[in-house]
Structure 1
Amino acid sequence: MANLPWIEKYRPATLDELVSHKDIIDTIKRYMTLGEVPHLLFYGPAGTGKTSTILALAKQMYTPSEMRGCVLELNASDDRGIGIVRDEIQTFVSTQTLHKKGIKLIILDEADAMTNDAQNALRRIIEQYTATARFCFICNYLSKIIPAVQSRCTRFRFGPLSNEQMMPRLQYVIEKENVQIDQEGKKAILQLANGDMRRALNILQSTHMASSLVTEISVYECVGHPSKNDIKTIINVLLNENFTVASQTLSTLKTLKGYALADILTELHRYVHKIDFPREIRIHLLIKMADIENRLANGATEKIQLSALISAFQKARQVESS
């Protein structure tokens, strides 16, 4: 247990330990109480409790000895072809179980990575073995699950967690692991996690191992995310310096701190909304930043996109001055 990552060490073992989505948890508890658990489809951003919820449900439905024969957990991003459906899943659901209820549970994590052929092959299996098996599909993007599978499942959306929901669990881990942390460090972790509990615990563990005291500065340094002071410097340069000076200053800062342009854009986006720009200039900057982020996501060179970012602010300054 000592060597486990904290995300596994403190993964909720029961439905009552889950920190959010009370309506979803209450509904699933009612299904379990009535013995009428349907096929399930959990979707939403990463780190919001989808996998933890179904694993907690499985632990409450089966004893540890029954889990081995009644629960099949597959990561569909690894086993995503039609072969895994016809071989492993078909074999598992068709074999008899000694479990008193006779119901097996098949968990398909990252199901949005499954091919359409594999999903189509599952349609008939889901219907054919409804009396003896329940499927749970877990994905980030609902649109990548074919309508035929969606219609056979009860869907639940797991939204990003709020800071108020995440803080008690974060505080629990801090106390259990005796982490030395200040209030600003907690706020920095929650802001960087952006509703992702898994990311929050990973940041906490990484920073704790790298620094004796977890502070806002140590959190940003450990993650490699632009600090507030550096973002203020970048904003000041973009708004006041000419193209040559801005290009040299920002290139040097990126190299020294190892910042990714995508992270800089994320923070700049917040400032563009805070600064009192005229409406036309704010719209111009947001469109340009969105285009740059899209090009970065498609593999464009950071150096060229940094020049495009500086150019967008230079253009905005010219429009404002005129």
Structure 2
Amino acid sequence: MSNFDHLWIECFRPQTLDDIVLSKDDRIFFESLSEKKEIPHLLFAGVQGTGKTSLSRILVNDILDCQYLYINASDENGIDTVRDKIVGFAKTKALDGKLKVVLLDESDSVSLEGQKALRNVMEEYAANTRFILTCNYLHKIIPPIQSRCQIVNLIPPVEGVVQRVVTILKEKGITIPPDQKNVLLQHIKKHLPD
């Protein structure tokens, strides 16, 4: 990925629930969470680029406005991360009395021992800490963790993604020649699950 691509990705990363492309059912679900300002443990599954991390950040920053711990499990995936960082964060209450959230990105990279420890932590500290886990491969998450979470398979509708891209291009004053519109559509479809 070039630096140019990276800049566009960050520049147009969704910041609010309205910005993110979701299926109709997922939008209804997340809008209900937004109204309640409360979440269960969540597990977002889907291929890379479907908005799992962006949606997680929107939940903690925009909707819940809570204290959270972000861990990228691709980098920190062992039992020590669970014992030291996650337990250390989860066992204390937030000063403002709100729920705290552990955002465990790429959780399918967590070792088996780490996942076994995590399931107990999720249970023990559920009174004041919720967990949002993201993964590309749901089958790599042990069933006891899956059973403690509301699982959301993120599959954004192609039409919605196309509309978002068209909106961004219009904002930037970029026009797509008619003979290239199908190329754009095929490129978008290539990066979304069937």
What TM-score do the two structures reach when normalised by structure 1? 0.54
Q: What is the match of residue 31 of structure 1?
A: 33
- SS of residue paired to 1:74: strand
Q: Pairwise CA RMSD of aligned residues?
A: 2.0
Q: How does 1:118-197 map to 2 (within 5 A)?
A: 118-159=114-155, 161-162=157-158, 164-194=159-189, 196=191
Cα distance in 1 for partners of 2:150, 2:63 equals: 18
Post-superposition offset of 1:83: 1.0
Q: Is the Cα contact below 8 Å between 1:112 and 1:139 reproduced in 2? A: yes
- Deviation at residue 161 of structure 1 after TM alignment: 3.5
Cα contact 1:160–1:195 (8 A) shared by 2: no
**Is 1:115 aligned to 2:72, yes or no?**
no
The answer on whether the counterparts of 1:160 and 1:194 sit within 8 Å (CA) in structure 2 is no
Q: Distance in 2 between matches of 1:58 and 1:25?
A: 16
2:23, 2:156 within 8 Å by CA — same for their partners in 1?
no
Contact in 1 for aligned 2:71/2:105 (Cα 8 Å): yes
Larger radius of gyration: 1
**For residue 73 of structure 2, what is the aligned residue in structure 1?**
76
Say whether 1:13 aligns with 2:18: no
| Runs of 4+ displaced beyond 6 Å | none
2:107 pairs with 1:91: no
Alignment partner of 1:97: what SS?
coil
Higher RCO, 1 vs 2 (CA within 8 Å, ≥6 residues apart) = 2
How many Å apart are 1:35 and its aligned residue? 4.1
Alpha-carbon distance in 2 for matches of 1:196, 1:48 = 9
Unaligned stretches of 5+ residues in structure 2: none
Tell me, yes or no, if the aligned pair for 1:161 and 1:196 is still in contact at 8 Å.
Answer: no
Deviation at 1:125, TM superposition (A): 0.5
Sequence identity (%): 39
Q: Is 167-176 or 184-193 further displaced after alignment?
A: 184-193
Query: 1:151/1:191 Cα in 2 relative to 1: closer, same or farther (>3 Å)?
Result: same
Which structure shows the bigger proportion of residues in helix conformation? 1
Question: Is the 1:82–1:121 contact (alpha carbons within 8 Å) kept by the matching residues of 2?
Answer: yes
Superposed, 1:191-270 pairs within 5 Å as 191-194=186-189, 196=191
Deviations 1:90-119 (A, max 9, x none): 111123322242x11111111111111110
Q: How far does residue 25 in structure 1 lie from its aligned partner after superposition?
A: 2.4
State the Cα distance separating 1:32 from its structure 2 match: 3.5
Amino acid at match of 1:53: L
Which is strand-richer, 1 or 2? 2
Supply the distance in 1 between the matched residues of 2:170 and 2:185 (Cα, whole angstroms): 17
Q: What is the aligned counterpart of 1:47 among 46, 49, 65?
A: 49
**Using the alignment, how far apart are the partners of 1:135 and 1:194 within structure 2?**
31
Q: Is the 8 A contact 1:161 1:195 kept in 2?
A: no
Matched residue type, 1:13: Q
- 1:59 is matched with 61
Q: Which moved more, 1:36-45 or 1:179-188?
A: 179-188
Q: Which amino acid aligns with 1:6?
A: W
Alignment of 1:296-315 (within 5 A): none
8 Å CA contact 1:93, 1:132 repeated in 2: yes
**What is the aligned residue count?**
188
Letter matched to residue 60 of structure 1: D
